Amino acid sequence: MIKLSLRRVFGLALAIVLAGSMAVSCYDDSELRNSIDDLKSQLAQLQTLVTSLQNDDAVTSVTQNADGSYTIKFKKSGDITIKNGKDGAPGKDGKDGAITAVIKGEESYTFIFGDGSSIILPRDYEVYTLTFEDADYKGPADIVNYWTSMIDSEQYGGELLYGKGCTWVDENNTFLSGSVLPYDPETWSGGFSGGGIAISNYGNTSFEGADYTRQLEAFVLSIDEEFYAAREYSGNNGSDNFAIVYDAGAWASNPAALVMADGVARRIESAYVNITNYTLNALVNGNDYAAPMAENGFYKITATGFNGEASTGSVDYYLAKNHAIAGSWVCWDLNKLGFVDKVVFSVSGSPEQYGDWGFNTPAYFAIDDIAVRVFAE
Residues 159 and 115 in one domain: no
pLDDT in the model for residue 98: 66
Segments forming the whole domain that contains residue 215: 127-375
Residues 75 and 211 in one domain: no
Q: Which of 94, 123, 152 is the last residue of a domain?
A: 123
Q: Give the integer Cα–Cα distance in Å for 147 and 139.
A: 11
User: Residues 373, 269: contact at Cβ < 8 Å?
Assistant: yes
Residues 233 and 288 in one domain: yes
pLDDT in the model for residue 56: 85
Buried b (16+ CB within 10 A) or exposed e, 154-171: ebbebebbbbebbebbbb
Residues 9 and 99 in one domain: yes
SS3 54: helix
Split at pLDDT 50, 70, 90, the class of 237 is: very high
Split at pLDDT 50, 70, 90, the class of 24 is: very low
User: Residues 334, 270: contact at Cβ < 8 Å?
Assistant: yes
Q: Which of 97, 123, 149 is the last residue of a domain?
A: 123
Residues 73 and 156 in one domain: no
Mean pLDDT of 37-64: 76
Residues 92 and 196 in one domain: no
Residues 113 and 132 in one domain: no
Q: Which of 73, 108, 123 is the last residue of a domain?
A: 123
Q: For the segment 353-366, what is each residue's pLDDT rounded down to a tens digit?
A: 999 889 999 999 99
Residues 134 and 104 in one domain: no
CA dihedral in degrees (322, 326, 330, 332; nearest 10)? 40
User: Residues 323, 293: contact at Cβ < 8 Å?
Assistant: yes
Residues 264 and 290 in one domain: yes
Residues 143 and 9 in one domain: no
pLDDT in the model for residue 40: 61
Split at pLDDT 50, 70, 90, the class of 82 is: confident
Buried b (16+ CB within 10 A) or exposed e, 125-146: beebbbbbbeebbeeeeeeeeb
CA distances from 313 to 147, 263, 330, 339 (A): 30, 19, 21, 10
CATH number at residue 315: 2.60.120.1350
Cα-based angle 184, 189, 191 (whole degrees, multiple of 5): 75
Number of structural domains the chain divides into? 2
Residues 28 and 105 in one domain: yes
Residues 131 and 107 in one domain: no
pLDDT in the model for residue 41: 58
